[in-house]
Amino acid sequence: MLRLVSTRSINSGAPVWRRLQQNGRSPDYTIKGQRKVRAPTSPGLLPPAVTSTGSLLNGGGVTRLASRLCHGGSPGSTDRGDTGGSFSLKAISHAPKPALYLGFSGLIPFLSAPLVMAATQTFYPQVAFAQMVYGASIVSFLGGARWGFALPAGSPARPDWFNLGNSVVPSLLAWLALLCRDNLTEGALVVIMGLGLSLHYDLTLLPGYPAWFKAMRTILTLVATFSLVATLGIKQICSEKKIKEIEN
């Protein structure tokens, strides 16, 4: 049968496989001593493995898979357990409640300072300095958190010079900010630099944090930075008064 069809196909100038598809049949291959194997006659009869591979190759399957792998995630990873570079701010919905509540409550000292000064239309150096000191302590805390993450056995971040050295940099910036007691603008700018550098470490350079923590860190850093910028703006547009002068 195969020989007959092949002869006709060659004589007509059409490919063999196209002629077989037009006839609605597939070639029968018979091997001596073995069972006859018939090729599938329609895409619906393809095995599951071939069907899934075909769906992956069609459309944007390969593009989506390559995108996840390039961002450090595995094909089956989710926002809850993803420890690669790819994350979304929506992953914050997977954050544990204690981390979520404590993280956002830590913004109260940042936000209260510019809100009080904006409500009174007065710049208080003591309040601004307290905000800057709190920001410096947060910057130092972020560096210590990375140090503690790299020390346990089996941690994705190895306790090498790169990870531990980068963990010390935020603490040094916090100490430098505290030295700027007589110049609150410079101190606030150093704190902003420390917050941004710590966020850069956690999102791009140092691996291991889950996606929900990266999303929360991004939001908290942005709010804290804008609060410090708001304080510097109030310093420029509002009159300055010290708390001791108000008491007198």
Half-sphere exposure (Cβ direction) of 237: Cα atoms closer than 13 Å: 11
Q: Which residue is associated with the tokens 């910057």?
A: 139
Helices 48-57 and 61-70, packing angle to 10 deg: 80
What's the pLDDT at 246? 52
Mean pLDDT of the chain: 74
Tell me if 180 sits within 8 A of 136, measured CB to CB.
no
What's the pLDDT at 245? 56
pTM: 0.64
Q: How far apart are CA 248 and CA 107, in angstroms?
A: 31
| Helix ranges, the chain (H) | 2-12, 16-23, 48-57, 61-70, 97-105, 108-120, 125-150, 161-178, 184-200, 211-237, 243-247
Has residue 14 got a pLDDT over 80?
A: no
Range 150-171 average pLDDT? 86
Range 144-164 average pLDDT? 84
Q: How far apart are CA 218 and CA 90, in angstroms?
A: 12
pLDDT, one tens digit per residue, over 190-237 is 999 999 999 998 888 766 788 899 999 999 999 999 999 999 999 999
What's the pLDDT at 164? 87
Range 156-173 average pLDDT? 87
pLDDT, one tens digit per residue, over 37-87 is 454 444 444 444 434 444 433 444 434 433 443 343 433 344 344 444 566
Q: Could you say which DSSP state residue 154 is in?
A: T
pLDDT, one tens digit per residue, over 97-130 is 999 999 999 999 999 999 999 999 999 999 999 9
**Triad 203, 207, 211: Cα angle to 5°:** 60
Pairing assessment for the beta strands 28-29 and 37-38 based on DSSP bridges: antiparallel
The confidence band for 243, taking pLDDT boundaries of 50, 70 and 90, is confident
Q: Of residues 160 and 216, which shows the higher confidence score?
A: 216
Range 165-185 average pLDDT? 91
What's the pLDDT at 85? 52
